[in-house]
Each structure stands twice: as C-alpha cells, then as structure tokens.
Structure 1
Amino acid sequence: MTDKEQGKKRKSKSATIAGYPISIFFIVVNEFCERFSYYGMRAVLVLYFKYFLLWDDDFATTIYHTFVALCYLTPILGAIIADSWLGKFKTIIYLSIVYTIGQVVMAVSAIHDITDTDRDGTPDNMSLHIALSMLGLLLIALGTGGIKPCVAAFGGDQFEDHQEKQRSTFFSIFYLSINAGSLLSTLITPILRAQECGIYTKQQCYPLAFGVPAALMVVSLFVFIVGSGMYNKTAPQGNIMVKVCKCIGFAISNRFRHRSSQYPKRHHWMDWAEEKYDKLLIAQVKMVLKVLFLYIPLPMFWALFDQQGSRWTLQATTMNGNFGALTIMPDQMQTVNPILILVLVPIVDSLVYPLIAKCKLNFTPLKRMTVGMLLAGLAFVAAALVQLQIDQTLPTFPSSTVGQAKFINMINGNINITAGSNPITLDAFSASDDYLTFDEPFNLNLGPGAENVVSLPDGTRSTIIIIQDAATYRHIEFRDMTEKPEKGENAMRILNGFNSTLNVTVGDEGFGDIVTNNMSEYIEVAQGTPKFVIRNDLGDECVYTQTLGFGSSYTLVIPSTFAFGPNCADSIRPVMDISPNSIHMAWQIPQYLLMTSGEVVFSVTGLEFSYSQAPSNMKSVLQAGWLLTVAVGNIIVLIVAEAATLEDQWAEYLLFTSLLVFVCIVFSVMAFFYKYIDPTKIEAQFAHMEPYEKEKKKSLDMTKKNLYGNDRRGSNSSNKGTQQTKM
C-alpha cells in the first residue's frame, strides 16, 4: 500500500459532525483536563512552599519561577521527540504518563502524616517531603512542557486541506478549553487547600489540592487514549531537528569558506547548503527560519502578560475587594482573565473578525498580533493610572534614613507631651493623629522629671505608649509594621493596659497571654466582622467585634478601666496604624479587559499562524518556539525589574509600556515585509523536483570525479598545484 493510500485510509477513520472531525472532541477534553491539572496545582504551589515546607518568601518565589521556566523550556524537548522519533500521538501518551506520575508524587509529598511520628504538627523528616516535591515538579515540568507543542499541532493534523475554516475555529475552541480549565481550577483548588485533613494533626489539605489535579490528569490521559482509533496520526519524519541544525551549520560554514568574490552570489544564504542537502529540506528550513525570525520581538508581550500573576496581584493587595454580595481577595482577581477569555473569544471569532472582513479590511494574522501588543501596552498604561491613584492613598512609610513614631496615652487622664519640637495633647487611652518622622534622636518630655532621649532605628515605625508608675510617667517602645499587610489581610494586635493578664483569640487564631502594659504580636485577620474573645484567669469573657476592610492595621487598646460585663466591649479603643484600602478592585477591570483583548488577538492568532506557516514535518518545532517566547518573556521581567530599580511602581509600568511599544514598532516593520506562504504547495513543488535534482547532482558528482581523474593523470606539478589550491 502506498503512502498516499495509507493517508487516505487514516483520513477515513475520523468521522465528522458539522464539518468537524469527531477526534477533536477528545483532544479538546484532554486539553481542558490537563490545564485544570496544571493551573490547579500551580494556584496553591507558593503557599505549599511557604506554609508546608516552611520556606521563606524569597526562596519559595525562586523555586516557583524556576518551575514555571522549566515548563516553558521543555517544549523544545517534546518537539524534538515528536518530530524525530515517536510522533505526536505517542509523545503525548508517554509524557502524559510521566506528567500523571508527577502529579501523584506531588499529592503524596503533601501527606503530612507520612513522616510525623511525634504527632506534634511538624514533619520529622522534612527532607523527604522536599525530595518528593522536587521530583514531582520535575516530572510535571517534563510532562506538561513535553506535550505542550504537540497537542495543538496534533489537533490541527485532524483536519484536511479543505477544512481550513474549521481548523481556524478549532484553535479558538482549543484556547477556550485552556482558559475554562484554568478558571475552574483557580477557583476550586484554593477551596480544597483551605479544608482541614490529617490523621494525627489537622492541617490545610494540600494532598487534596494536589490530588484532584492528579485525578484530572488521569482523566485527561484516559480520554485521549479512548479517541486513539479516530485520530489522523502523522508519522515522524526522522531526526528533523538535527537535520535542520546541520543544514544551517553547513550553509554558514560553506558561505564563509567561499566568501571570496570569485564565487557567484546566491539568492538566500541557506542556498549555500545545496552542495550537501536537497532543496526540499532547504526550502523547509527557510520557512521555519522566516517564522522564528518573526518570533524575536514576541517575548516582550509575555513579559507584560505574565505580570497579571505578580505585579497586578500585588497591586490588588492595596485595593478594596468588597463587591457587596461578593468579596474578592487579591489573588482571586486573576480569574478575571479566564472569565473574559471565555466571553471574548466567541465574540471576536464570530462577530468582530467577520465584521472586519465585510468592511473589506485586510486584517492579516500579523496585523492582529500587532494590535494585540498595542492593547497590552494600553493595559499597562491603565495599570499605571490606577497605581497613581493608589499611591495617593497609601501611608508614607519611613525611608532608610528616618524613623517614625506615634504616641498612645495609657493613663486615665489627659496629658501634654513634647516630642522633639512637636507639642502633643493626648486624651485618656487615645493616640496621636499620625506618625511623626524623626531623622535624629529627639527629646521626649513627659512632664517634670520625665524627659528622655529617644533614638528610633532608621527605616522603622514605632508606637510609644505613655504609662504611669506611682507619680512618674515613663514610656515603652513597640515596633510597628512598615508595609501593607499581605494579600489584603488586616494586621491586628492587642495592647493590654488592664491590671491582669489577658488571653485574646479571634476565630481559630490566638494572641496568647498578654501581660499588663505589653503588646501582642500581629495576627492577620480577613475582611469582615471578626469576633475577638477576651478572657482572664478567672474565666470571665468579653466579645468585641469590629468591621474590617482590606489591608488595614489596628492596635486594639484595652484600657485600665476595662471591666468584664455586658458593656465590656464599649471601653476597647481601636487605634488605626494603617488605613484600609480605599481604591476599589473594580478599577483593575479595564486593565484586565485590555490585556485579555490583546491576548485573544495575539495568542490565538499566534497559535494558528505558527501552524499555518510551518512545514508539514516541523509543526511541533514551531509550536515549541512559540512557547519558548513565553519563557524568555518571564526572564525579561526579572532583568528589567532588577536593572530599572525604579522606586515608583507606576513608573515601572510605563517603562514596560515603552519597551513594548518600541518592540511593537519593530514587529510591525518586520510583519510588513513578511510574505505569507502555503507550505504544502512549496513542499509539493520541491518534492516534484527532487528526483530531477538528485539525478542532476549525481551527474555533477560524476563529472567532478572524471575531471579530478584527468588531473591525476596529468603532470606532477599540475597535480601539486591543484592540491595547493584546494587547501
């Protein structure tokens, strides 16, 4: 049976519905489950590092980004395996098995009780948890990265040449499945993580948060295997990546070897490989290089896009997430992107593009990508404008050369004090209006015989309480927070001026025993109306409630006049150290809308463009190249953020905007000179010429052999001269 007949036989396996191969249903479901698995695991990964493995923020962040980088670097390996040895189908199967094992290992690594022999709440053998976690992440990075360039290209292979319109729609549906999986998993896995589980000790349920994504990966693999008999499976065509690299290397070396003017110029520098490689391969390499050259500016888009999960989330921690019936935490704002994707992709695909076509505008794929980059730049302009508004509401924290202090009167009576040159009047159990800034030690005058020199450490905030010992006033210093609480939480602490030790709890958290004239540590409390339960050694109890917003910090002052009873909560005085966030998170929606609109016309189009312009045997390679731009984009973020060292976040946003606009201009010029091709026609043309070219090359080799043979039969001097020339 000929290859052509085999191809027809494979094509006939896949029945169609409404013009679409049934086989793509299995591919889309596979992608949905796989993306649920990946994003669900990643949503809680940093928290797992910090609160289970007990790593500090910096190290947890480093390992997290290393993992993400690996996930976008390994597609190159997957593309080589698919195009060179196994083919896309087997590559997806084998690496999905590796992927599934990795997810299972991650779930096992999070089982708290596997090493907890003392039942004390802390794993005895933390190194085992770390080793299993690193092994699981390595397998996941290899699996998800390895199949990433194959699945989209494999889906494209299911369509015949006359189904170009359906194939274009498939890429939009494919992208929808990615974002649907991302949206659901980002909402669900944090809820699973927040559950309590464990045999001996109750902990946050990371095994469940990792276990559900592992189960979805099993479903993904099962669904893909079920559709096996319907797929159009393109066989691998040799070690194409090695061939391409050798072909490029030979063309470069051959060009420099014959750089003298006596050799005729060639139309393209890759034509210098014709002495060794056939014209079909050279033509395919030219097509790949044309697209890869266009990829050079693309990482800048991803440099802005991926900051949704970092800079924009940090921005949201300084904003108000109260939407009335719904309360949104800062890290949940990331779900706006997949929600908008699910809305915008059908609108753009079925309404916007057809409307543009009816207006007879030539909105080519590269023009779409240019518009997408501009929209991303506008999104960062919007983010900068929001940041400017936020900065006006933020407290002025001390620089590295000054200290700040505020004063609380814990005496049952009004007092007048002087801090440096600042006279202050304090009512009983009240605080000064705001922090005062001091760049050197200052005199604190509390009255006759009560004057002290106070030296505040640079870069710190302090609360100085005034107490009375017999007839003498004195002060006590406590260190305050110098930044907004993380994730929009509220930092709360208790100042006990009561004449006995108190124990205070809020929910499941406890401040511990607080002795008289002492301050507790900060505890993070979520937005809402929490209940603070105050108890003494006798078992008396008082419940105090306070409505909290986002990102505030309070010191709850329990005065010496406090007494347990029905109205005990009325005497407690809340002192606001950091005001709550006042700019609403809804102001982030425009920047998410712009960025997501840019993603729709940039990323979906890029996937389709990469497939349509790729030679038949190098589609996975170009898909890997496309994904590699994402990894490079993340590296750009780190480089720019470190090199710029801008104090104002809005300025950094505008810096990224400027870089993207510059890159966008470069890309638009490159796109203007790009000529769209039909790889199938080009390959057919050179495939038809290939037998003739081989015969011609064979004849030329015979001619050279005969000529060199004649030279050998000539004089010794002639032969020697020829050899010297060849050297």
Structure 2
Amino acid sequence: MAPSENQLKSPVSVWFIVFDELCERFNYFGLRTIIVLYLSSILNYSDDDSTLIYHSFVLLSYFMPLWGAILADSYWGKFKTIIRLSIVYAIGNVILTGASIADNFTLNVQRNMSILGLILIAIGTGGIKPCVCTFGGEQFKLPEQQDQLATFFKRFLAGIDVAVIISTFFVPELRKSVHCFGKDTCFPLAFGVLSSLMIASIVIFILGRKLYVKRKPENNVIFGTFGCIFYAIRKKCTFSSSSDTVPHWLDLASDKYSQTQISDTKSVLEVVYIYIAYPIFWALYEQQGSRWTFQATLMNGKIDGVDWVIKPEQMHTITPLFSLMLILSSDYILFPLLKKIGIQNSIQKLILGCSLTSVAFLFAASLHYKIFGESTVIPSGEGQFNVYNSLHCNVHINSSLLYNDTIGSTGLSNFKYTPMSDKEIVNITLTLNNSCNPYISYGKLDTNVTVSRGKSISYLLTTTAVNKTVILRPIKHYDDFMKPKNGRPIIRILLGDDVNINEPFALVSTGKKSPLSYHYNISSFASENFKQVPFGKYNLTRGEEVISSDINLIPATIYTLVIHTNDQNLLESKLYVADKGNYLHIIWQAPQYLCMVIAEVAFIVTTIEFSYTQAPPRIKSFVSACYSMTQSIGNLLVIVSISALSFNKQVHEYLFFAGIMLADTLLLVYLGWNYKYKSFQQHIDGNSDDSKNVWKNTK
C-alpha cells in the first residue's frame, strides 16, 4: 500500500540544498566580514569610502535577486539559474583573490580588479538568492507537509548560522594571524579559502541533480504580474467610473488576464505592502559589517592570560551563534515566551524585531559616546590659551586681566578670558623661580599673548639654542579640538627652540611584525598641525637611538608631544593629553549585538516563512526577490545618509538611525493592522491548484 499523505517523508534532496547553502553562505559572510578592512587597510580607502563601497556591494547583492527570479521563474528554471550564476560567483572570488596578491600592479589596477571581483560576486550571490530557499520549498507537498516545510526552513537557517559562525571567526584569523607577502595580514589566504568553498558549493549542488523536483518555468510569469498591475492601473485612470463597480481595482484587468493571475497579483501586492517598512530595518542591520566593525577597531580585544586578541570583525560571530541557539530553541523557549506576552502572529514578531533594532543602535551610540570621552567646547564669546612649560622649573604667570597661576616643571596650564573684541592682546608677566637659574633671563619676563573669541591657541615656553634665553613662542596654528570621525588619535609635535630640527627624528610604531610599520618623520609635523595616526605604542627615535619608548596613543584622544633639551643638554620628550578618549574592551559591544540577535530571529526567521507561505506558488521567487529588494534599498539608504547628511560625529549618525527605526516600527504597526493571512495548495510534482485564497479571520 502507498503511504498516506500524513506519512510523506521529508525529501532527501533538501540536504544537498542545505549544504550547498552552507558553503555559499560561508563564502559570502566570510567575505563580508573582512572586506571593509581590506578596502581601508590594503586599498587605502577612507572609512567613509570603504563604508560606501561595502554597502554598494551589499546593495547590488540584494538588487540582483529580482533578475535571478525572472530567469528562474520565466526562462531557465531554478536549477539551471543556481548552477550558472554560481559559476559567475566563483569567477568573482578568483578575481578578488588575484587582486589581493597583485602588489606589483598600481593601486588603481588593484582597486579596479577588486571592484570587478565584488561586482561578479554580487551578481552571483544575488542571482541565486531568491532561488535556493524556494527551490528547497518546492521539494515538499503542501499543505500535507507544512510541518516538514517549517522544519526545513529551520534547518536551512541553522545551516546558514553554522556557516556564518565558522566563517566570521575563522576567516579573520586567516586575515590577521597569518602573515604573507611581507605584510602583517594575509587577505589572499582568506579570499583563497572562500573561493574554494564556493567551488565546493557548486559541486555539492550538482551531486543532488537526479533527486530534485524541478518545476518548469512559466513563460513571462513575472512580466505577466507586472503587466496585470500596469494594465489595471491604466484602466482605472482611463475609465475611472468603471472602477466603482468592481470589488478590487485589479479586477479591472479581468478582460485580459485570468482570475488566477489576478488573484496571485492581489496576494503579492498585499505581501509587498508589508515590505514597505523593511528597508529601514536592513539599513540598520547591515551596518554590523561596516560601522560596527569600524567601532570595534577602536576597542581593546586582548584576552587577559591568553595570547590571543579578538579581532574587530570577529564580534560578528555573536550574532549567528546566539541566533542559532534561539532558532533551535524558538519553538520551546522564545516563541512560547513571546506568546505569553501577547506576541503571536507574524506582524507582531516583525514589530518586535524592529523595536529591538532601534534599541541596539541606542546601545551603539552610548558606547561610541563613551569611547570618544571628553570634548572641549569653547563658548563663542570666550577665548583660551595654553602654555606648555618645557623648562625643569616652576613658572608663575601674572596678569591684571587673568587669574594668576603657577605652571609646574614641564607642566601645562590653560587660561580662559573674555576678550572685548574678536582678538585682544593681553600682557602677562612670567616669574621663574630659583630652580630656573641655569637659564638666561632668570627672574621676570614681560610678554604678550593674543586671545581670540571662540578659539584656543597654545604657547611654548622654551629656551634658545645659542644662549639659553627663555622665550614664550606662539604655536603656528589654533588648537584643534575636533576629534576625527574615525576615532583615530591626533597628535602634534612641538620642538623647543633649543632642538636641532635637522636631526633625523621619527615616531615609529612598535610591536609590528611587518617591515611596513608606521613610521613618521618629525619633518611631517613641522607645520605644528595635528595629524591623525593609528593608535598603539610608539618610540621616539633619533636615527638608531631611542629617545622615548613609552608613547602610548589610545583612540579618540588629542595629544601634544614636546621635544626639548634638559639642563644637561640631553634630548627628552613629554606627552600631553587633552580630551582623553577611552580604550574600552571589545566585549562592551555585546549588548548591541545581543539586541540585534533577538531582532534577527524575530524579524528574519518570521519574514522567510511569512514570505513563502503568503506567496502564490507560481511566483514565490518573485516575492523572494521583492524581499531581497528591500535589503538593497536599505543599503541604498545607508549610502545616501553617509553621502548627503555627512554627520561629523558617529554618535549623531547612530542616534539618527535609531530614531528613524522607531518611526519605521510605528509604520509597520499601521501597515500590518488589517493584514489577513492566506494559505495556498502546492503539490509535490511542482504544479499548483488554481490559486484559491483561503482567508483566515486572524489579523
């Protein structure tokens, strides 16, 4: 006897699809994990430009599903579409790997090769994206195997999470822990491993070719959907009176399109109507691979007692790891818990996901504010000046217009004054104490300083090289208290007048295994301007001689390094700190990632099942492509916000996205208020019944 419909076994073919997706997602997310650092550190793009390229790549990746769906549903079929575009995908990986090795080429050639590789990867991954999951769904007979289909979706997503967990942890180790081609990183090895995984995914998928249920494409089914929509719109605009006699405006197309096409189009539009709120979610979600990665580069990943450092991009491992745990326990823990607090249907879970995403960005903003720490703000009517004392004695400053103060040996004092005009000259008297007797002009020095409204200027108390005469020399430029958006420390170097500027001074980073260590000649600081440098430990050298070995620069901090000679005519230096940032441990990113994990499970898992079950069988790939298009639009919003709004502070950008996410959550509440859920018939042979919608009363 043939088994009853209730005893249908889960098709073996879906395991080939799951493992194919596992390898492909390992490739894609491993690439996304390190690509933004490859763009900034190897191709020398700025942080903002790297972010724009990253989101442009993701944008194209989620724009291509529309064309992949057209090819799959109307021309090639899903099986051939997956095979052919996967080959394009693999070629892109090979080109990107070659570009990372091509150091003998010019930077522009290396950049162009990398961009070409990324474009081909985006075309490949985007083209197959709407096909793989729906191709797996077509292996089941619905509604008889609805529970098995739900299990497949969980396994499918679990496979993705396993791939992401391994790739987001393992690929950064290949990138950073291995050194090749004279560098302290090895992007070629990381990209090469990913290329191998993509080739493996093609082989695995082909191995199951004889087991698959292959639904034949229906000619122009997607174009027919668009045609039905535009034909009904044209009739509604042309014959406005006739639209009052039909239940739905799409019924105006009944003279040209079948009831099946019209019914399917209605169902598609109702799902896409909910998708209106999706792009904002993706605009925030995708920044884990760009803005959050750059935030992590400003943090300390050292694990005490272990000779290992958490790489900035390895924080992405938190998301798939906890996501996998939540997915596996969702039917027993997460969803029953949500049900107890009144969150039961798909729309309610989507709203929860959006809300938690907004909270995640509030956490990110708070953390970034803490990293950047203090910030000097000079009132518009006030002026300030600083005096750096390079002498090894105390100096008292006296003025009838200022409060009196004593600057300690090699100390610093800040003075505030309210000038009567934009610029005002203030007379001051410097009194050197007895320990200053090695210097000429021991006693009192009358001089002037200039105070400007809303600005700060610095002076260096130093001695001349010839006769050790004490002078108060103004620094060439006003003080700059604007911290760079990328969080790098900024430093200026001031040379005392008693120092020979022609000597080979340099600021050299320590602890680098690569011969290409950061090396800054002091001549590059001759203008006495602030300059961005990577944070870390540095030595101040003169030729082979190390003058100072304790220069430790932390993120988001303003430094002034003064080089001078002491009483014995020996060189020495002192590092002054202003507006100090905080070098926090990278684990402080965990709260924002955990919020995003719950948001991902509540939003993405729900959306995948919602999109598949609410889509007519004939055009499921098209609905999947529309879903992917929302991700593309979300990345476009990030690109526009960075290009057009140009936030000076990253904290403000995070708060902006948290705010629009909150507004988007309210929009989703409005859109989903009256949504009615539907069910469709789908047979194991890939054919479908006439799309008769079964309306439920649940909202």
What does residue 467 of structure 1 align with? 462
What does residue 186 of structure 1 align with? 168
Residue 544 of structure 1 pairs with residue 549 of structure 2: yes
Whether the 8 Å contact between 2:616 and 2:691 is mirrored in structure 1 is: no
Structure 1 residues 318-397: aligned runs within 5 Å = 324-325=304-305, 328=310, 332-354=314-336, 363-383=344-364, 386=367, 393-396=373-376
Residue 429 of structure 1 pairs with residue 407 of structure 2: no
- Tell me which protein shows more helix as a share of its residues: 1
1:80 to 59, 65, 70: 70
Superimposed CA distance per residue, residues 530-566 of structure 1 (whole angstroms, 9 cap, x where no aligned partner): 4636445xx555662366655444445454239899x
Superimposed CA distance per residue, residues 54-92 of structure 1 (whole angstroms, 9 cap, x where no aligned partner): 444444443333222211111111111111111111111
Residue 600 of structure 1 pairs with residue 620 of structure 2: no
Measure how far apart 1:589 and its partner are: 2.7
2:193 to 182, 194, 212: 212
Whether the 8 Å contact between 1:506 and 1:531 is mirrored in structure 2 is: yes
Question: Residue 192 and residue 651 in structure 1: after superposition, are their counterparts in 2 closer, same or farther (change >3 A)?
Answer: closer
What does residue 197 of structure 1 align with? 180
Whether the 8 Å contact between 1:443 and 1:451 is mirrored in structure 2 is: no
Aligned with 1:230: secondary structure? coil
Residue 103 of structure 1 pairs with residue 86 of structure 2: no
Deviates more, 1:140-149 or 1:495-504: 495-504
Residue 298 of structure 1 pairs with residue 278 of structure 2: yes
Aligned with 1:511: secondary structure? strand
Flag the structure with more relative contact order, 1 or 2, with Cα contacts below 8 A and sequence separation at least 6: 2
1:451 to 433, 439, 447: 447
Superimposed CA distance per residue, residues 90-127 of structure 1 (whole angstroms, 9 cap, x where no aligned partner): 11111111111111111222323443xxxxxxx3xx44
Superimposed CA distance per residue, residues 481-524 of structure 1 (whole angstroms, 9 cap, x where no aligned partner): 64446766655666555856345533233333679999798574
Aligned with 2:459: secondary structure? strand
What does residue 532 of structure 1 align with? 539
Whether the 8 Å contact between 1:379 and 1:591 is mirrored in structure 2 is: yes
**Matches of 1:441 and 1:542, distance apart in 2:** 39
Question: Residue 188 and residue 372 in structure 1: after superposition, are their counterparts in 2 closer, same or farther (change >3 A)?
Answer: same
Measure how far apart 1:626 and its partner are: 0.8
2:154 to 133, 158, 172: 172
**Matches of 1:400 and 1:139, distance apart in 2:** 53
Whether the 8 Å contact between 1:450 and 1:472 is mirrored in structure 2 is: no
Whether the 8 Å contact between 1:495 and 1:518 is mirrored in structure 2 is: no
What does residue 41 of structure 1 align with? 31
Question: Residue 204 and residue 314 in structure 1: after superposition, are their counterparts in 2 closer, same or farther (change >3 A)?
Answer: closer
Question: Residue 606 and residue 504 in structure 1: after superposition, are their counterparts in 2 closer, same or farther (change >3 A)?
Answer: closer
Question: Residue 381 and residue 545 in structure 1: after superposition, are their counterparts in 2 closer, same or farther (change >3 A)?
Answer: closer
**Matches of 1:214 and 1:446, distance apart in 2:** 71
Question: Residue 81 and residue 269 in structure 1: after superposition, are their counterparts in 2 closer, same or farther (change >3 A)?
Answer: same
Structure 1 residues 457-606: aligned runs within 5 Å = 463-469=458-464, 470=467, 471-477=469-475, 482-484=481-483, 499=499, 501=503, 502-507=505-510, 508-512=517-521, 524=533, 526=535, 530=537, 532=539, 534-535=541-542, 540-541=545-546, 544-545=549-550, 550-561=555-566, 573-581=574-582, 586-606=587-607
Question: Residue 473 and residue 89 in structure 1: after superposition, are their counterparts in 2 closer, same or farther (change >3 A)?
Answer: same
Whether the 8 Å contact between 2:95 and 2:114 is mirrored in structure 1 is: yes
Aligned with 2:199: secondary structure? helix
Residue 686 of structure 1 pairs with residue 693 of structure 2: no
Residue 626 of structure 1 pairs with residue 627 of structure 2: yes
What does residue 118 of structure 1 align with? none
**Matches of 1:49 and 1:510, distance apart in 2:** 21
**Matches of 1:518 and 1:50, distance apart in 2:** 27
Measure how far apart 1:604 and its partner are: 0.8
Whether the 8 Å contact between 2:172 and 2:313 is mirrored in structure 1 is: no
> Could you say what the CA RMSD is over the residues aligned between the two structures, in angstroms?
4.2
What does residue 612 of structure 1 align with? 613
Residue 163 of structure 1 pairs with residue 158 of structure 2: no
Measure how far apart 1:28 and its partner are: 2.4
Deviates more, 1:46-55 or 1:315-324: 315-324
Measure how far apart 1:600 and its partner are: 0.5
**Matches of 1:493 and 1:302, distance apart in 2:** 40
**Matches of 1:59 and 1:212, distance apart in 2:** 26
> Residue type of the partner of 1:635?
L
What does residue 231 of structure 1 align with? 212
Whether the 8 Å contact between 2:558 and 2:580 is mirrored in structure 1 is: yes
Whether the 8 Å contact between 2:271 and 2:614 is mirrored in structure 1 is: yes
What does residue 414 of structure 1 align with? 394
Whether the 8 Å contact between 1:411 and 1:467 is mirrored in structure 2 is: yes
Structure 1 residues 616-655: aligned runs within 5 Å = 616-637=617-638
Question: Residue 42 and residue 81 in structure 1: after superposition, are their counterparts in 2 closer, same or farther (change >3 A)?
Answer: same
Superimposed CA distance per residue, residues 358-397 of structure 1 (whole angstroms, 9 cap, x where no aligned partner): x697812222212222222333444455566667x32225
Q: Which runs of 5+ in 2 are unaligned?
A: 431-443, 511-516, 694-699
Superimposed CA distance per residue, residues 136-157 of structure 1 (whole angstroms, 9 cap, x where no aligned partner): 2221121111111111112222
Question: Residue 305 and residue 563 in structure 1: after superposition, are their counterparts in 2 closer, same or farther (change >3 A)?
Answer: farther
Structure 1 residues 648-663: aligned runs within 5 Å = 656-663=657-664
Question: Residue 662 and residue 523 in structure 1: after superposition, are their counterparts in 2 closer, same or farther (change >3 A)?
Answer: closer
Structure 1 residues 113-152: aligned runs within 5 Å = 113-115=103-105, 123=106, 126-152=107-133
Whether the 8 Å contact between 1:441 and 1:453 is mirrored in structure 2 is: no
Question: Residue 102 and residue 268 in structure 1: after superposition, are their counterparts in 2 closer, same or farther (change >3 A)?
Answer: same
Question: Residue 648 and residue 101 in structure 1: after superposition, are their counterparts in 2 closer, same or farther (change >3 A)?
Answer: closer
**Matches of 1:560 and 1:260, distance apart in 2:** 93
Whether the 8 Å contact between 1:541 and 1:564 is mirrored in structure 2 is: no
Aligned with 1:110: secondary structure? helix
What does residue 270 of structure 1 align with? 250
Superimposed CA distance per residue, residues 564-623 of structure 1 (whole angstroms, 9 cap, x where no aligned partner): 99xx9xx75332234231666545433322222111011111011111111112111111
Whether the 8 Å contact between 1:418 and 1:446 is mirrored in structure 2 is: yes
Superimposed CA distance per residue, residues 152-186 of structure 1 (whole angstroms, 9 cap, x where no aligned partner): 11222223333322322322332333344334333
Residue 255 of structure 1 pairs with residue 253 of structure 2: no
What does residue 260 of structure 2 align with? 280
**Matches of 1:103 and 1:403, distance apart in 2:** 57
What does residue 81 of structure 2 align with? 91
Larger radius of gyration: 1
Whether the 8 Å contact between 1:551 and 1:579 is mirrored in structure 2 is: yes
What does residue 723 of structure 1 align with? none
**Matches of 1:688 and 1:343, distance apart in 2:** 37
Superimposed CA distance per residue, residues 669-714 of structure 1 (whole angstroms, 9 cap, x where no aligned partner): 433422221121799663799xxxxxxxxxxxxxxxxxxxxxxxxx
Q: Which runs of 5+ in 1 are unaligned?
A: 1-7, 116-122, 690-727
